[in-house]
Amino acid sequence: MAGVTDVGRRRDHNEDTIVTDAGLGLAVLADGMGGYKGGEVASALAANVLVEEVRRKLRWQEVAAVDEQTGYTRASLLIRDAISRANDSIYRTAHEQPHCQGMGTTLVSLLFYDNRLSVGHVGDSRLYRVRGGEIEQLTVDHSLIQELVDRGFYTPEQARRHVQKNLVTRAVGVDPTVTADLQEEPVLPGDIYLACSDGLSDLVEDGDIHLTLTQYGANLSEAAQRLVELANARGGTDNVSVILIRALRPFPAHHRSPWRMKVLHWFT
């Protein structure tokens, strides 16, 4: 796992927060917004709550068990509940602290277990996967422009050029409740997962992200750094954050082996 977060070229402070914990198989990227310094408070709160909740409640024995009602694994539901908790925390703080009024954050959180990945997603931060020489965007933005594409007013190509990119339709902490998109994906050895804030995806096209990962993929830290540089070279109009994760080998949840101990070795 590798992560870089950078203030960019045009902002005076960084409102993004990234956390990676290979021991838990957890990565969180949050892009905060709103209020005087509220953005960085919101993103930090979200990331901390996520990590704390997962650390406290993750039960390795049953993490891959599927809940009958929802069809999601325990891991996915844990992520969902943790995002809910983060929402409460930010919403409450925003109402208690005048300088945090109106704050909120996007969130992409990844939890790896049993050859599988649970993704919780709110807002316009993205998750991509590179597999078999192709890049695929796994999340769908909660943004106005995405809604307009879904409704047929724009093609994705027109949307890229459109100016009002930066309108998010869902965020953590702005309403009393939030609905996160949950997704489960099979993980294969060699997969590279890339989570990023819109500071990257607004400025660097998917093809260029893919090219960079192809060129520098052997060293994820360097690849992450290159991606941030690329965004900055193209204006660096926003904070830029990137998390890169590679699955090295299968990580099935064997019954007796404490795979928690091993998970550290499964990712770079």
Partner 1 sequence: MTAKLVLSLNGAVLREYPLNRERTTIGRRPENDIHIDNLAVSGQHALVITILNDSFLEDLGSTNGTYVNGRLVKKHALQHGDTIAIGKHELRYINEQASTHDSDFDKTMIIRPGMVTQPAVAARHGGAAAALAERPTSTIHPQPAAAQRTVAAVPAEAPAPAAPPPAPQSDVQLPLARVQVLNGPAVGKELELRKALTTLGKPGVQVAVITRRVHGYFITQVEGPGPLVNGQAIGAQAHPLLENDVIELAGVKMEFSFID
Summarize as ranges the residues that interact with partner 1 (CB under 8 A): 10, 31, 33-36, 38-39, 66, 70-73, 76, 99, 101-102, 104, 116, 124, 131-134, 136, 138, 140, 142-144, 147-148, 150-154, 158, 163-164, 166-171, 174-175, 179-186, 188, 198, 235, 237-238
Contact partners, residue 40, CB within 8 Å, separation at least 6: 13, 14, 15, 17, 32
Least spacing, CB of residue 58 vs partner 1, in Å: 18
Tokens of 177: 């409740």
Judged by beta carbon, residue 53 or residue 238, the one nearer partner 1 is 238
Least spacing, CB of residue 261 vs partner 1, in Å: 25
Judged by beta carbon, residue 101 or residue 225, the one nearer partner 1 is 101
In the beta sheet, which residues pair with residue 127? Answer: 195
Least spacing, CB of residue 37 vs partner 1, in Å: 9
In the beta sheet, which residues pair with residue 112? Answer: 117
Least spacing, CB of residue 34 vs partner 1, in Å: 5
Amino acid sitting at position 190: G
What b/e sequence results for 59-73 when a residue is b if at least 16 CB atoms lie within 10 Å of its CB, and e otherwise? Answer: ebeebbeeeeeeebb
> Could you say which DSSP state residue 232 is in?
H
Contact partners, residue 160, CB within 8 Å, separation at least 6: 205
3-class secondary-structure state, position 178:
coil
Judged by beta carbon, residue 179 or residue 257, the one nearer partner 1 is 179
Least spacing, CB of residue 80 vs partner 1, in Å: 11
Judged by beta carbon, residue 70 or residue 257, the one nearer partner 1 is 70
